[in-house]
Structure 1
Amino acid sequence: MSYSSETVNYGPILFQYDLYPEKIEEVGKVKKVISRRGTFALKETSLNEEEASWFTHVIHRLSEIGYHQIVPLYPTKYGDYTVQYGNRTYYLMPWFAGGDRFGLTREEVIIEEIGKIHFLTLKEQDFSPEVVDHSFQYLMQRWESRQLEMERFAEESERMPYMSPFELTYLSHFHHMMRMAEDAKRRLKDWYDACHSEKRYRSVLCHGKLSRNHLLYSHHGEPHLLNFEKAVLDTPVRDLAVFFRKAVHLSNWTKEEGGRLLSLYQRHIPLLDEEKSLLVSYISYPEPLFHSVDLYRHQRERYSQIEFVHRLEKRISAMRHIRDFCDLILTPPPPQPLDTNTNTDHI
């Protein structure tokens, strides 16, 4: 049988799994390997040796503590779970066709599964003022530095004899962006003060790179998460912020839908008040808007002015949705009515 040049390139890697492919297809960032032994997924990454070791530890640790909704890794014939080849790292998984679960959106399934992982890995950390101080100061300095960059861009735009449509759009929303940044910093300060007051801090295993594309279904219809390459021990808010910043772009998004998704998560791990402040801080800081400016400044030839303006306006609209959602997050739940039929003779 003859192999394509692409198949030959992956031959030394697949040999370590005793796999002799009949065909290899590019499917996104994964290679679909078709062989007589079945169909597999080969992922190519830039993980170094230390990162690859942590990645495989995460996968095995999740299985050990009872979470099995992850796409498993296949070991090589030498017992390794990753293969270093050149300056790249590879790992092999079963091939899942994808699809969706009937009756549930991908967002519902993802938030449920992340809630389960966070619950299983939740740990009350010994309170360390130094750790909290460092986290607060690092993020505050980073945000303030970003604001200065955006202020400089505004000043540069105002000095232009003829402003571009993107620059005009940016300047028309500039003061609103700065107010959003200041509001986010105030919420970050609320989190900082509450941590010192309550003297508590919780960590979980965060997926680190949540995406709709990182949910697959097995042949039996069971959901499985993949791509834990960026997994890290951190506040649960880290995953939630990534999740909601993406979910707000969905066509069916409303603040009520956001509240419902957050409630699904909190069935597994209710957020503390200071964690809610931190979540609001993370998602309300206008980093997506600033990123649009970065793209315009450094890749101006890549898109048309109309495309740049559309991208910025779309993100401004999303930030408005986030603002409404943040108000809902911070609204205390209504008091539960007393059950007058409860038998209280034992009190």
Structure 2
Amino acid sequence: MSTSSEGINYGPVLFQYDLYPEKIEDHGQAKKVMSRRGTFALKETSMTEEEQEWFIHVIQRLSELGYHQVVPLYPTKHGDYVVRSGNYTYYLMPWFSAEPRYEYDKDELVIHEIGKIHQLTLKEQDFSQEVVDYSFQYLMQRWESRQLEMERFAEESERMTYMSPFALTYLSHFHQMMRLAEDAKRKLRDWYDICHSEQRYRSVLCHGQLSSQHLLFSHMGEPHLLNFERAVLDTPVRDLAYFFRKAVHQPTWTRETGSKLFELYQRHIELSEEERYLLVSYMSFPEPIFSSIEMYHNQRGQHSQIELVNRLEKRISAMRHIREFCDDILSLPLPAKPEDEFFEGEKEDHM
């Protein structure tokens, strides 16, 4: 009987579930636990006590709202849904497949499922000028700081006697990236102005790390989302921006793919004008390029110039896809504005 993986003994944790494994396979943060009772997934993560309580609340609240496509949690023999051991928090789930039994498009399924969650939890918040002002100033200052660092690296590169392949590649696209940064800031100002004009702000339950990697399939072939550890109440744009910035890196991505996915989401919730501007501003800012510069400074000893250049070129190509996609988002007709178009639900304790 094996109760360990990479030297960690999971026996005491699994004992809380009266589970005695015959074998444990390491799949990153998820451990595949095989026993006479069946096959399970033990998730190993880091959460504070407050984060654990929120995580469990989110899963239970979604079930109360009628959403049952979350990978279920198994309680311990004491009725707890998480087990704390050492520096980690653990929870147990059924072992579901990452691959669909049928010919499904995983990105479409993810958008469909998050659209349902957003629709169920949609709420019009009381407009707060202070919150909007803070969000605007925080993002603008962060982006201007990023932009300054990118400009500084361009100046350093130009002073090099022998320019590295990475620096040469970066400089050849620098002005294009600066235009994207300026456009992102303009769109953020548009969001800010419309928010003040319309005096409205909507929130939903955001998954927090939305991607096709967090979609699994039950033994019946039904799609289920997992990994709600970073779930938060925020604008729906938060999930969409995170999802699309990852999706554009896929080799199958096309402009038509993006439009189809966005329209699929809109069947659940139609983004308002200011939400579209916020989404476009988030996606347009060349944050991935800034991250490539950070990696070049901090990890170039761990990667070859070819690896660094390839990573940079892929991110530049992805930013081009995003630019086209953003044009399509802003060109679509805006939803009608009935007097009462928002979800009338509970107040601050909706989730």
Normalising by the smaller structure, the TM-score range is: over 0.9
Aligned-pair distance for 1:7?
Answer: 8.1
The equivalent of 2:172 in structure 1 is 172
Is 1:325 aligned with 2:331? no
Relative distance call for 1:186 and 1:101 in structure 2 (3 A) is farther
Q: Deviations over 1:86-129 (max 9, x none)?
A: 11111111111232252321000000000000000000000010
State the distance in 2 between where 1:124 and 1:4 align: 48
The equivalent of 2:232 in structure 1 is 232
The equivalent of 1:120 in structure 2 is 120
Tell me which amino acid in the other structure corresponds to 2:85: Y
The equivalent of 2:342 in structure 1 is none
The equivalent of 2:77 in structure 1 is 77
Runs of 4+ in 1 over 3 A off after TM superposition: 1-8, 332-335
Secondary structure, counterpart of 1:182 in structure 2: helix
Tell me which amino acid in the other structure corresponds to 1:82: V
Relative distance call for 1:245 and 1:259 in structure 2 (3 A) is same
* C-alpha contact (below 8 Å) 1:7/1:23 kept by paired residues: no
State the distance in 2 between where 1:6 and 1:332 align: 51
Choose 8-17 or 85-94, whichever is displaced more: 8-17
- The two structures have a TM-score, normalised by structure 1, of 0.93
Tell me which amino acid in the other structure corresponds to 1:68: H
The equivalent of 2:33 in structure 1 is 33
The equivalent of 1:196 in structure 2 is 196
Tell me which amino acid in the other structure corresponds to 1:59: I
The equivalent of 1:280 in structure 2 is 280
Aligned-pair distance for 1:49?
Answer: 1.0
Tell me which amino acid in the other structure corresponds to 2:127: F
State the distance in 2 between where 1:3 and 1:256 align: 48
The equivalent of 2:181 in structure 1 is 181
Relative distance call for 1:143 and 1:2 in structure 2 (3 A) is closer
Secondary structure, counterpart of 2:177 in structure 1: helix
Tell me which amino acid in the other structure corresponds to 1:142: R
Secondary structure, counterpart of 2:9 in structure 1: helix
Choose 154-163 or 265-274, whichever is displaced more: 154-163
Relative distance call for 1:3 and 1:40 in structure 2 (3 A) is closer
- The two structures have a TM-score, normalised by structure 2, of 0.92
**Unpaired runs of at least 5, structure 2:** 336-351
The equivalent of 1:340 in structure 2 is none
Relative distance call for 1:69 and 1:139 in structure 2 (3 A) is same
Relative distance call for 1:308 and 1:44 in structure 2 (3 A) is same
Tell me which amino acid in the other structure corresponds to 1:310: N
* C-alpha contact (below 8 Å) 2:273/2:334 kept by paired residues: no
Tell me which amino acid in the other structure corresponds to 1:306: I
* C-alpha contact (below 8 Å) 1:62/1:68 kept by paired residues: yes
State the distance in 1 between where 2:5 and 2:270 align: 53
The equivalent of 1:343 in structure 2 is none
Aligned-pair distance for 1:328?
Answer: 0.8
Choose 83-92 or 101-110, whichever is displaced more: 101-110
Tell me which amino acid in the other structure corresponds to 2:212: R
State the distance in 1 between where 2:101 and 2:263 align: 20
State the distance in 1 between where 2:2 and 2:246 align: 44
* C-alpha contact (below 8 Å) 1:215/1:225 kept by paired residues: yes
The equivalent of 2:266 in structure 1 is 266
Q: Deviations over 1:120-144 (max 9, x none)?
A: 0000000010011011111111111
State the distance in 2 between where 1:2 and 1:272 align: 54
Q: How does 1:290-301 map to 2 (within 5 A)?
A: 290-301=290-301
The equivalent of 1:338 in structure 2 is none
- Among the aligned pairs, what percent are the same residue? 74
Relative distance call for 1:5 and 1:217 in structure 2 (3 A) is closer
**Unpaired runs of at least 5, structure 1:** 336-347
Aligned residues: 335
The equivalent of 1:255 in structure 2 is 255
Query: CA RMSD for the aligned pairs?
Result: 1.6
Relative distance call for 1:254 and 1:52 in structure 2 (3 A) is same
Who wins on radius of gyration, i.e. which is larger? Answer: 1
Aligned-pair distance for 1:2?
Answer: 6.7
